[in-house]
Structure 1
Amino acid sequence: MAFKVGDKVTHRTFGAGEVAFGPYLSAFGGTHYLMAGDGGKHYIVGTEEGELKPAAKFKVGDKVRGLYSGALYTIEAGPFFSEIGEWYATKDGDGHVDHNSADCLTAVEPQTDTALKPGDVVRIPRDDLQGADVKAGDLLVVKQLDGRDTVVVHAAPGARQYTWYFEPENVTKVDADSVAVVDNVAYDLFVKYRDRDGDFWRFERRPDGEVRGNCAASQYSTVRIDDYHDTLAETVREYGPLTRV
């Protein structure tokens, strides 16, 4: 495999580095490169029997987003290198595994800010938490923070009151990329929903940030979601309420 100056690579002996010069034909035979390693050290390296390999852009378990589809994926296997470049086996929110080129994926940074603020979404860990009319796995939108000791959330539609109050340590902040909020109701972008007519909807966040969905008679539909599909807000207001499948 050919490399060029600036390529990130991994050498089986010297580890991670970057191509600083090459390729060139060595007096020792074969194609060689000058690789810049850690600590400013440089190494003359060859390419025989997999001695030098491209550095992987992602690793198994990484969360990534499609640059063109806007869909969220988890890296299931890889990297794989072929004539068309680096690619990975990826799993979408429905559990379907496909392949994607590394050039068509971008990393989703893990959420490190756990502090809550109004508009954030939290996950409920168990049924009837603190006496509230909630179920394990419910996603609720933070309305306000009442001092340090209480998180006030909007109750789910149909609950016996409009708000619930929880201790901060009893709820978990949800990654904003995995949910969308309409009219103070949180929707999970990794599951399907059913509208009032019984049709199924699958939603995803497009590259422009807008969440759009596809309507189908079957929950197994895998039609690609494009910019002409209904937005989540339109779907909720025209076909709601939406029920999680």
Structure 2
Amino acid sequence: MASAQYETATRTVEETLVVLKLTEDEADALREIVGASDGTRLHVGILKALEQIGHGADGTYTPTVKAYDLSAAYRDRSGDVWTFTGRRAPDGEPYVTYTDTASNTDRITDIEREWGPLTKVTD
């Protein structure tokens, strides 16, 4: 007769990490290359990591009275969750995306106006 049971196993995993040492100019050039990519999740993750080095989404942006936490996500009235790409328009306004596409050029104030109110996601 067959039988089955759960067992717990411990595994040790070794992971190799790659650390790049770049000058600021080199990092800027790499940001441009990755930002112009096809927008796959891998490229988006790399771009977000690069943009958090000196050009990241840390801090706040206050276009009028409401301040946006640039490290947070915001839900619009239709349920889409928007995050900051780490990129900014020439006037300094942050770009946002709900598709994890770092090259998205939607601005936070446009999304607030068209799909607001935006509420900070806290879970």
User: Scaled by the length of structure 1, what TM-score is found?
Assistant: 0.27
Give the greater-gyration-radius structure (CA): 1
The structure where helix makes up a greater share of residues is 2
| TM-score, normalising length: structure 2 | 0.49
